Structure 1
Amino acid sequence: MIIDSHCHVDPRHFREGADAVLDRARAAGVDAFVVVGVDADLSAARFAAALAARRADVHAAVGVHPHDASALDDRMLAELEVLARLPEVVAVGEIGLDYHYMHSPKDTQQRVFADLVALARRVEKPIVIHTREAPEDTLAILERAQASDVGGIIHCFSEDRAFAERALALDFDLSFSGIVTFKTARAIQEVAAWAPGDRILVETDSPYLAPVPFRGKRCEPGHVLHTARFVAELRGEPFEALAARTAENTRRRLRLPQDGALTG
């Protein structure tokens, strides 16, 4: 089996509806999905939780993207904690820092990031990390906020081996998206080839970052198969073994049900 460990399928991304998109991926051979809900008003978080509640092959993660850090207030934080405690929600995220676009001020991003790590520790669920152009600050906040108490996933891994080693030491696994298939992604490819086999995951981050040969097009959860094949080739492993291992790693990290319960 194979699991897409991180995808966005809310209506603003897929007008045909999440069920159509996920059913296409199921037909292609993807067995389960971690659907991530993040936006400025928690509507995507509510959507992800509701989708996971009615589909046995879906599990939800809920959070506030660093782009929207400025929108988080006490009321939203309280509602997010309620959502995060739902049994169908398996992680808090994606949360973190993004210094590329700076849609929210740096100090606000850092404060909200620390607050959401604290929320994850309260609900005792792992964290899904978004980090872009902020490697040192991301790791520093994870260390100060004691994120290793719950661990989690570095989503859409796009850093170097030095970052990977520190993240692994903090009990964060590395999830590889379509970026790893890009010709220019040499450093990421080196990490994917080197990383411990029990600490790697695969994802699409749909509708973003479609892997080769779909680069530039809308990404869908079914495309995780192409990313997994590429990572398997980098590691010199059979695709089936890599798919099974990353699925098992996702199950273990997010405390998902075993195979039979995922295929509902």
Structure 2
Amino acid sequence: MPQITDSHCHLDFPDFDEERAEIVARAREAGVHRMVTICTRLKNAPAVRSIAEEFPGVFWAAGTHPMSVADEPMATVDELIALSEHPRMVGIGETGLDYHYTAESAEVQQQSLRIHIEASRQTRLPLIIHSRDADEDMARILSEEHVKGPYPCVMHCFSSTAELAQVALDLGFYLSMSGITAFKKSEDLRDIFREAPLDRILVETDSPYLAPPPHRGKRNEPAYTAHTARVAAETFGLDYDTFAARTEENFERLFWKAA
């Protein structure tokens, strides 16, 4: 069975508390041999780190989610760098902008995003971006910061416009395909991915959210990366084995500490 990586999940969430070991085992049975579990509030970093330490093939990343920024202490560059020294900590974030639910905190979200970018720049660990209803500000900030100095980045669970996708790709960033890309109604989003270079594509679940068919509407889990990846392979006109191998190369190039 081809091996693939779930580049973004949340194994620390309460949805998985009762069967975390079984969740990881099912992922491996489905060919998902690596997972990156994401810390969204820095106060939870010890718990997320312990999950990565417990399970081989599980890595972690840490940041302050934009929807949580107003309720959490502002992260510092030094704090993020210190966390990055852990051998299984492989990314900075998730961070970003979310104006859909939390537009009132736009200013502090932008401040937090720039802090995370600087940590990514200094550590060379990939920045993990969440972007919702904030395309103009996101494109502007990513571009402004890139002029100051390059940094690696993935647009996690990408479901924004073709214009933001092109800005990200022009900056050398990656786009990640979640279960949304497997929804029947997501043909326009699949068209955006078809125009992207294959060597900039990752796959993820964002579990426990956004389960792809045939599990849509239910709790998502890393094993379901395989369902998204099969639809993604069709999107690019490739057989599953070839697509899996290419996205593995992409993941290891970007998330170099997990390679």
1:140-159 to structure 2, matched below 5 A, reads: 140-146=140-146, 149-159=150-160
Shift of 1:157: 0.7
Hey, what's the Cα distance between the residues in 2 that align with 1:74 and 1:239? 42
How far residue 81 of structure 1 moved from its aligned partner, in angstroms, is 3.3
Q: Which residue of 1 aligns with 2:96?
A: 96
Q: Is the 8 A contact 1:68 1:104 kept in 2?
A: no
Paired residues in the alignment total 256
Farther-moved stretch of structure 1 (197-206 vs 182-191): 182-191
Q: What is the deviation of 1:15?
A: 1.9
Identity percentage over the alignment?
39
1:115 paired residue number? 115
Query: What displacement does 1:48 show?
Result: 2.4
Matched, 1:7 2:14: no
CA RMSD between the two structures: 1.9
Q: Conserved in 2, the CA contact under 8 Å of 1:7 and 1:36?
A: yes
Alignment of 1:100-249 (within 5 A): 100-102=100-102, 105-146=105-146, 149-249=150-250
2:184 is paired with a residue of what secondary structure? coil
**Relative to structure 1, is the Cα distance of residues 74 and 190 closer, same or farther in structure 2, using a 3 angstrom cutoff?**
closer
Contact 1:2–1:30 at 8 Å: present in 2 too? yes
Unaligned runs of 5+ in 1: 259-264
Which 5+ residue runs of structure 2 have no aligned equivalent?
Answer: none
TM-score by length of 1: 0.90
Opposite residue 37 of structure 2, the aligned amino acid is V
SS in 2 for 1:201: strand
Under a length normalisation based on structure 2, what TM-score does the superposition of the two structures give? 0.92
Verify the 8 A CA contact 1:161 1:187 in the aligned structure 2: no
1:262 maps to which residue? none
Amino acid at match of 1:227: T
The one-letter amino acid paired with 1:252 is R
* Contact kept? 2:117, 2:127, Cα under 8 Å: yes
CA distance in 1, matches of 2:102, 2:154: 22
Query: What amino acid maps onto 1:64 in structure 2?
Result: T
Deviates more, 1:159-168 or 1:241-250: 159-168
Q: CA deviation at 1:125?
A: 1.4
Measure how far apart 1:239 and its partner are: 0.8
Are 1:66 and 1:104, in contact at CA under 8 Å, matched by a contact in 2? no
Bigger CA drift: 123-132 or 74-83?
74-83
Q: Judging changes above 3 Å, is the alpha-carbon distance between structure 1 residues 47 and 77 closer, same or farther for their aligned structure 2 residues?
A: farther
Conserved in 2, the CA contact under 8 Å of 1:173 and 1:199?
yes
